[in-house]
């Protein structure tokens, strides 16, 4: 049994593999297929983009496929960067994205730097008519400088008040325990075994 995670993002791939390791199926990601073409994310919502990615990959491989579309919503920026989180500063470059976020929030005081990470997962399968869709989120504050070396993307700027740390200061298990993606995966785990037709 094989499941494909429709992502080229190494940080996401690591988090999925950590949860789905040691099970009776094999997990692959698009990092195992470097020639797989870029999927254009033309949707207007996380769910639309995750659906596009899941179906493009499912149709190519004929296998059960999970896609994640995710991003950061910052209240003081009216929910931006949102679905544009990966390419906020142009090309996909985490350091440039973080620098742009800090500059956009320049002068905004701590209590107004509220934000959330959102992850929408779509599980598509050739033998199921309908997709399984779940969403997870986590709330936090955008710091005024990066802290921590783990994780990816905006993690060094995403401060989790309950833990007194940024996401980039958490181990992968600590991050999965509270993160938007971890929360979405937990919802998926409660449903997918009953849903899937192998
Ligand atoms: P795939 O489409 O190949 O999965 P991607 O990185 O392009 O990779 P998205 O379009 O869903 O994926 O963009 C998600 C962006 O949101 C990601 O590049 C980060 O900038 C940000 N993001 C999402 N989850 C994050 C997390 O757990 N920690 C930090 N940043 C995150």
Q: How many CB atoms lie within 10 A of CB 37?
A: 9
How do residues 135-170 score in pLDDT, each as one tens digit? Answer: 999 999 999 999 999 999 999 999 999 999 999 999
Q: Which phi-psi region, left, alpha or beta, contains residue 130 (left: φ > 0; alpha: ψ -120 to 50)?
A: beta
Catalytic residue among 35, 68, 69, 149: 69
Residue stretches of the annotated binding site: 7-12, 69-70, 152-155, 175, 180-181
Tokens representing 20 are 């789905």
CB of 179 sitting under 6 A from ligand 1:
yes
CB of 16 sitting under 6 A from ligand 1:
no
Query: Average of pLDDT values for 59-65?
Result: 97
Q: What is the mean pLDDT of the chain?
A: 97
Could you tell me if the ipTM is greater than 0.90?
A: yes
For the chain, domains (ranges, CATH) are 2-195 (3.90.950.10)
Query: Average of pLDDT values for 43-55?
Result: 98
Is 198 exposed, middle or buried, given 0-12, 13-18 or 19+ CB atoms closer than 10 A? exposed
> 83: which residues sit within 8 A by CB, 6+ positions away?
41, 43, 44, 45, 46, 49, 69, 71
Query: In this structure, are strands 2-5 and 132-142 parallel, antiparallel, or unpaired?
Result: unpaired
How do residues 5-25 score in pLDDT, each as one tens digit? Answer: 999 999 999 999 999 987 888
How do residues 74-87 score in pLDDT, each as one tens digit? Answer: 999 999 999 999 99
Q: Calculate the CA dihedral of residues 50, 191, 33, 60 and round it to 10 degrees.
A: -70
Q: Is the pTM of this model over 0.95?
A: yes
């Amino acid at each position: 049994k094989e499941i494909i995670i429709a992502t080229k993002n190494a940080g996401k791939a690591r988090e999925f593999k950590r949860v789905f390791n040691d099970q009776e199926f094999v997990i692959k990601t698009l990092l195992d297929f470097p020639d797989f073409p870029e999927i254009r994310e033309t949707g207007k919502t996380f769910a639309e983009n995750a659906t596009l990615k899941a179906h493009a990959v499912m149709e190519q491989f004929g296998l059960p496929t999970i896609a994640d579309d995710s991003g950061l919503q910052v209240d003081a920026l009216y929910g931006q960067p949102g679905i544009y989180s990966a390419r906020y500063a142009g090309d996909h470059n985490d350091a440039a994205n973080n620098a742009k976020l800090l500059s956009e929030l320049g002068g905004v005081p701590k209590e107004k730097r509220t934000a959330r990470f959102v992850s929408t997962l779509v599980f598509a399968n050739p033998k199921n008519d309908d997709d399984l869709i779940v969403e997870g989120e986590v709330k936090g504050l955008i710091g005024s400088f990066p802290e921590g070396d783990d994780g990816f993307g905006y993690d060094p700027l995403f401060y989790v008040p309950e833990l007194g740390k940024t996401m980039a200061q958490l181990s992968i298990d600590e991050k999965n325990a509270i993160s938007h993606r971890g929360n979405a995966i937990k919802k998926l785990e409660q449903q997918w075994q009953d849903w899937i037709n192998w």
